[in-house]
Amino acid sequence: MTRMADQPTVEVEIEVAAPVAVVWGLVSDPALPARFSQEFQEGRWDPEAPGPALGARILGHNHHPAIGEWHTTSIVVACDPGRRFAWAVEDADNPAATWCFEIEPAGAASGAVIVRQRAVMGPGPSGLTAAIERRPELEERIVASRLAEHERNMRATLEGIKALAEGAAP
């Protein structure tokens, strides 16, 4: 049984035939996922701390048919250029979710990279918290449904990154 207390996680990956530097430029751009996600509508750097750096803030705008519109502030919690870029939603110490991109070589001879995107729900409160409190008997279904939504959006984002990095318009 998957419960919010377990910090449910979803991860997807794709192989991209492009240099690490090109892929890094894409995954560290907070505006990029909005081009491919059905839920994430906009991401931008906080004007006071623009650019990928530990502690930088990302201002986000989301929309979900069942929830409506909401805005988030996320904090970059990992920034290892060419390898890892991660942000915690709302509170770095008790995030509603933590999102991460990781890049690693696919093979010495190929020149391609493996790009992974991961989302960890919780441990802090999120939009699911109220839904689960209203219907605790449905927690497992609510969490599974949310993970499936995240996975679809993440797959679309990685396919978009692949197309952009490999030079094809999505």
pTM across the whole model: 0.92
Contact 145, 132 (CB under 8 A): no
Measured between alpha carbons, how far is 68 from 16 in angstroms, rounded to an integer? Answer: 34
Per-residue pLDDT tens digits for 96-143: 999 999 999 887 677 899 999 999 999 998 888 888 889 989 899 999
Q: What structural domains does the chain harbor?
A: 4-165 (3.30.530.20)
Tell me: pLDDT of 91 over 90. Answer: yes
Tell me: pLDDT of 3 over 90. Answer: no
Signed CA dihedral, 56, 61, 99, 168: sign only: negative
Signed CA dihedral, 43, 57, 148, 96: sign only: negative
pLDDT at 66: 82
For the residues 37-58, what does the mean pLDDT come to?
91
pLDDT at 4: 78
